[in-house]
Amino acid sequence: MQSDRNKSENERHIMFDIHRVEIDWGGRKLKLETGQIARQADAAVLAQYGETTVLATVVGARSAKPGIDFFPLTVNYQERTYAAGKIPGGYFKREGRPTEKETLTSRLIDRPIRPLFVEGFKNETQVVVTVMSHDLENDPDIVAMVAASAALTLSGLPFLGPIGAARVGVINGEFVLNPMVDEMKESSLDLVVAGTHDAVMMVESEAKELPEQQMLEAVMFGHKHMQPVIQAIIKLAEKAAKEPWDIKLPDKDKYKAEVKRVAEKTLQEAFSTKEKMKRNDLVGVAKKAISEHVQLESDSPDEKVLLSDTFKSLEMDIMRGDVIRTKRRIDGRDLETVRPILSQVHVLPRTHGSALFTRGETQALVVATLGTGEDEQYVDSLEGTKKERFLLHYNFPPYSVGEVGRMGSPGRREIGHGKLAWRAIRPTLPVQEEFPYTLRVVSEITESNGSSSMATVCGTSLALMDAGVPLKAPVAGIAMGLIKEGNDFVVLSDILGDEDHLGDMDFKVAGTQNGVTSLQMDIKITGITEEIMRVALEQAHKGRIHILGEMSKALSGAREELGEYAPRIETIKIPTDKIREVIGSGGSVIREIVAESGAKIDIEDDGTVKIASANRESIEKALARIRGITSEPEVGQIYKGKIVKIMEFGAFVNFFGAKDGLVHISQLSQGRPATVAEVVKEGQEVYVKLLGFDDRGKTRLSMKIVDQETGQEIPRAEGEPEEVFESRPPRREGGRGGDRGRDRGPRRERG
């Protein structure tokens, strides 16, 4: 058997030019292999970590399309359900549009590799990463980033990598490299970091209010432990890398002098103008002057793009040089000042919670809605189906930046920004047992000039507190920027849109007064150092505390009561063996309770019952019905019931859910009546006291010791002996069955 396997392996290597590297990484084997699969791509790498396996392929166009003015890089990460031994749901039984996880992982791969392509390279490039096998222990996203980096390094494209990637958790106060899926449930940190040998390129994280120093240490821990992966990729490239492409880049200095002569003065005026729209108008004037006064060598689209790129380069030089030299920014602020903030809550009358958060020229209108268990989102993944009770949706309409544009379904930007805010807020949410609501937040960006995602964090915190959601603490977010020229750098607090566009870094930090809940970093240069991150985190902490103070002027904590139109949820626990009785055959009982009460009812497998309605009376009706089905009446308690049947010997009363009991004629009223009908009639509501049960389990009730107007027990007169009730009706003299003889009517005289 062993010889057959060796023979098969040898044949495979003869047929394919296979190269492989293997390392121990975080307690598991990481294998990188190339040469057997997808050989027509520019490069393909099969990466396996544990038993999670992904295939990454890279293909680049051999020439750039004429007139293209950006780098058309596309990253597609896709999960196949066969990887976990599953068949897709739905009618067509095949994978459909990208899931949120696939979209976010595509962005995760794109962000660290995009800055590492040679400046000026504009050939269309596509990276496709497919999850082929998932062991349900190792998340494919880290493996996908490593595989994509390896494929790019082998491809011959002008990629200045490789990069490595790692996930960092904190379990029992210790950093853990690449914790498994189950271990992440115990972790107070979920941080993904990517970088080169020298510097960090990207960070994405969610944390449970960790201090800034610990977050920085986690980033550096991940960067240190990704180095073996980078070395493994280099080792594979030494064996299998293709020849570098011969790339002819345009002469970026061709029009530099002319563009500076025509546009420099106007651009200097633009970048000393505080108002965004006036600044944009002046930039437009400079562009028009260039088109009129700079003569192109030819009318080719590529020459026009070169001129446009030269203009953008001049913009960057002016803005960045002024900030480095003067330590003053476009709008006149110093490096650390946050723009003016106005926080408002309860701005929409019928919503459950709402907030309008305005910071400078960035504004988010955020609305919170409380729902029930029926509103939870079912999320399908390779690990299985789970329910999500917190939803955050971010919308960025074109009017928010004064533009006309197409509106459609959410794109990668909307999904990514929404997820960032979701991560920032989630660690502060109350546990479901304390607050059993489904929460949906929608952030409408109504104005944007820098960091609308952080405005969403602030607005979400305010809207949830306005709705009465007891957050552990308010959350605020701030976006930091970077301008780095040689060894000089400055970190900017609360960046503007132009500072983001023309700067080197977008560093977003969200958290409470106590610590960080989310950190995201993207850069446009080839990496940043630990020193830069430390300065950025310290500066971000000061800004976050300031923003929290401004937010507290509107609301410093959750309202004590839910909004007028929010549903109220009552939660009770019933025995699991009673669930079937509450639901009824084919759901008949639960539908009847919902129809009668008007409340929503959700029953979980563990016996947890959630009853929701904006009307308290509806909840009480439903609770009474469910308790009547699942509970047992208590001896000695007084209940309100209804006469359902009259007999000669007494009346049957429906007094506890579906339970009926007998009020014997002797217990109807003070003094024994001649007939039952003298005292009660069918349909009449009465108060009864539960006396006990006879030896056959039959219920015995009494009306005569309860005041029928107040429902209170009638006190015994002083000295009057306490009435003793036997467990069954008393026997009659001369009879065999006590009251049973009376039940049959008068006995006949024997003749």
Mapped onto helix, strand or coil, the DSSP state of residue 387 is strand
Strands 125-133 and 73-79: parallel
Burial of 611 per CB tally in 10 Å (0-12, 13-18, 19+): buried
Mapped onto helix, strand or coil, the DSSP state of residue 305 is helix
Instruction: Report d(CA 323, CA 490) in Å as an integer.
Output: 8
Residue pair 682/660 in contact by the 8 Å Cβ criterion: no
Count how many Cα atoms sit within 13 Å of the Cα of residue 624 in the half-sphere of its side chain.
14
Instruction: Report d(CA 397, CA 33) in Å as an integer.
Output: 44
Residue pair 363/454 in contact by the 8 Å Cβ criterion: no
- Only one residue has tokens 């020459």, namely 303
Cis peptide, bond prior to residue 162, ω within 30 of zero: yes
Query: How far from each other are the two terminal CA atoms of the chain, in whole angstroms?
Result: 105
In this structure, what DSSP letter does residue 35 have? S
Instruction: Report d(CA 536, CA 345) in Å as an integer.
Output: 30
Residue pair 395/452 in contact by the 8 Å Cβ criterion: no
Instruction: Report d(CA 578, CA 574) in Å as an integer.
Output: 7
User: What pLDDT sits at residue 720?
Assistant: 54
Mapped onto helix, strand or coil, the DSSP state of residue 635 is coil
Token pair for 439: 């929460």
User: In sequence order, what are the residues at sequence separation of 6 or more whose Cβ sits closer than 8 angstroms to the Cβ of residue 585?
Assistant: none
> Within 10 Å of residue 185's Cβ, how many Cβ atoms?
9
Instruction: Report d(CA 490, CA 478) in Å as an integer.
Output: 16
Give the residue ranges of DSSP H helices in 521-665.
Answer: 530-552, 579-583, 588-597, 616-630
Instruction: Report d(CA 738, CA 731) in Å as an integer.
Output: 3
Instruction: Report d(CA 636, CA 688) in Å as an integer.
Output: 10
Token pair for 89: 């749901």
Q: In 3D, which of 634, 636, 662, 638 has the Cα closest to residue 649?
A: 662
Mapped onto helix, strand or coil, the DSSP state of residue 476 is strand
Instruction: Report d(CA 52, CA 673) in Å as an integer.
Output: 83
Structural domains present in the chain: 2-240 (3.30.230.70), 256-326 (1.10.10), 341-552 (3.30.230.70), 568-630 (3.30.1370.10), 638-743 (2.40.50.140)
What are the distances in angstroms from CA 603 to CA 378, 553, 575, 576, 590? 16, 41, 11, 10, 10
Q: In 3D, which of 33, 28, 31, 35 has the Cα closest to residue 14?
A: 35
Q: What angle do CA 398, 399, 400 make, to 5 degrees?
A: 90
Describe the crossing of helices 227-240 and 212-225 by its angle, rounded to 10 degrees. Answer: 30
User: What pLDDT sits at residue 275?
Assistant: 82
Helix or strand run (H / E) with residue 687 = strand 685-693
Q: In 3D, which of 113, 189, 181 has the Cα closest to residue 148?
A: 113
User: What pLDDT sits at residue 637?
Assistant: 86
Instruction: Report d(CA 96, CA 442) in Å as an integer.
Output: 25
User: What pLDDT sits at residue 9?
Assistant: 64
Instruction: Report d(CA 750, CA 186) in Å as an integer.
Output: 86
Token pair for 244: 């570098």
* Weakly modelled stretches of the chain, pLDDT under 70: 1-14, 657, 716-751
Describe the crossing of helices 301-326 and 256-270 by its angle, rounded to 10 degrees. Answer: 50
Q: In 3D, which of 98, 85, 184 has the Cα closest to residue 142?
A: 184
Mapped onto helix, strand or coil, the DSSP state of residue 380 is strand
Strands 438-447 and 390-395: parallel
- Single-letter residue type at 195: G
Q: In 3D, which of 367, 361, 331 has the Cα closest to residue 349?
A: 367
User: In sequence order, what are the residues at sequence separation of 6 or more whose Cβ sits closer than 8 angstroms to the Cβ of residue 191?
Assistant: 167, 168, 169, 203, 204, 205, 206, 207, 215, 218, 219, 222, 519
Q: How much is the pTM?
A: 0.82
CA-derived radius of gyration, the chain: 36
Supply the DSSP string of 213-253, one letter for each residue: HHHHHHHHHHHHHTHHHHHHHHHHHHHHPPPPP------TT
Handedness of CA 660, 664, 668, 673 (dihedral sign): positive
Residue pair 147/49 in contact by the 8 Å Cβ criterion: no
